[in-house]
Amino acid sequence: MRVVFMGTPDFAVPTLEALIEKHEVVGVVTQPDKRKGRGKAMAFSPVKEKALEHEIPVYQPVKVREEAFVQVLRELDPEVIVVAAFGQILPESILNMPKYGCINVHASLLPKYRGAAPIQWSVIDGEKETGVTIMYMEKGLDTGDMIEHVVVPIDAKETGESLHDKLAVAGGPLLLDVLAKLENGTAVRTPQNDADSCYAKMLTKDLGKIDWNKDAAAIERLIRGLNSWPSAYTAFHDKTLKIWDADVEEESSDAQPGTVVKVTPDALYVQTGKNLLKLNEVQIQGKKRMPVKAFLLGHKVEIGTLLGQDNENNR
């Protein structure tokens, strides 16, 4: 099958690799190069790097809806367009172009978690499972008819990063199965129930600011869901303290939420709105991630220390 692939980040790479092995990928469309790092050097997207590795033509339109690029797609004459975390909305001129349509590899069990960050929100919200859904694309945001899905369990200590990697790998085999069904005419369209949907809004750094008035379980899920970006954080004196790993302790004190109520050689116990949160791994501003045991060697933390009260502009 002649395929045009549209994708940008790491999540899309395993799907592209699966396509390359089984189909004729006649072009890859990805977002324009961006400046990254302290040196602000131009960087290719992970999808572009993989396409160039296989000598596949790469296209990077600023806007895919521009007629000049739409004409490029017409000349490529794809039988299907596969989209995985591309980053732009496709116009009807593209959606209606391929013989088998445009299909999307989406990292949730639709109709739940439509939108930009379904992986992280499934962890933050405490879901027990998620998955990958292959669907037909239409004008709405992740609203098209579903074709197939695969379920992926969410482990008790799952992070946004670890779940991202699981789902990225799961998408490729599922897509190949769907393409085979499209070719032989056995693909089934299942409309989504809009009443069962929710919007997984885009992640921002501000989302990571810990509200100690929330219960320990909710904070612990936030920490895992935002690991590795943008990360959950609080304030420790005049610096930002990122928290990378924590556990819920089924006990409480009368202290104000955000107060350190117990210090052991390898952990800090903080009162929340309900129960204690045991901090295991942290990162003080300007330093690398470290176990709390190492953090305590260089920082004096006393019982009664109140977190989250200082300068939040140091992030």
Question: Residue positions in the annotated binding site for (6S)-5,6,7,8-tetrahydrofolate?
Answer: 108-111
Peptide bond into 111 cis (omega under 30): yes
- What Rg, from alpha-carbon coordinates, does the chain have? 23
Interstrand relation of 199-200 and 114-115 (parallel, antiparallel or unpaired):
parallel
Q: Nearest-CA neighbor of 109 among 85, 131, 142?
A: 131
Other beta carbons less than 10 A from residue 294's beta carbon: 15
| Residue numbers belonging to the annotated binding site | 108-111
Give how far the C-alpha of residue 52 lies from the chain's centroid of Cα atoms, to the nearest Å: 24
Q: Which residue has the tokens 């117990």?
A: 262
**Alpha-helix runs per DSSP H in the chain:** 13-22, 46-53, 67-76, 92-95, 118-124, 160-184, 216-225, 292-298
Q: Return d(Cα 290, Cα 294) in angstroms, integer.
A: 6
Helix 160-184, helix 13-22: angle, nearest 10: 30
Residues in the chain: 315
Interstrand relation of 58-59 and 114-115 (parallel, antiparallel or unpaired):
unpaired
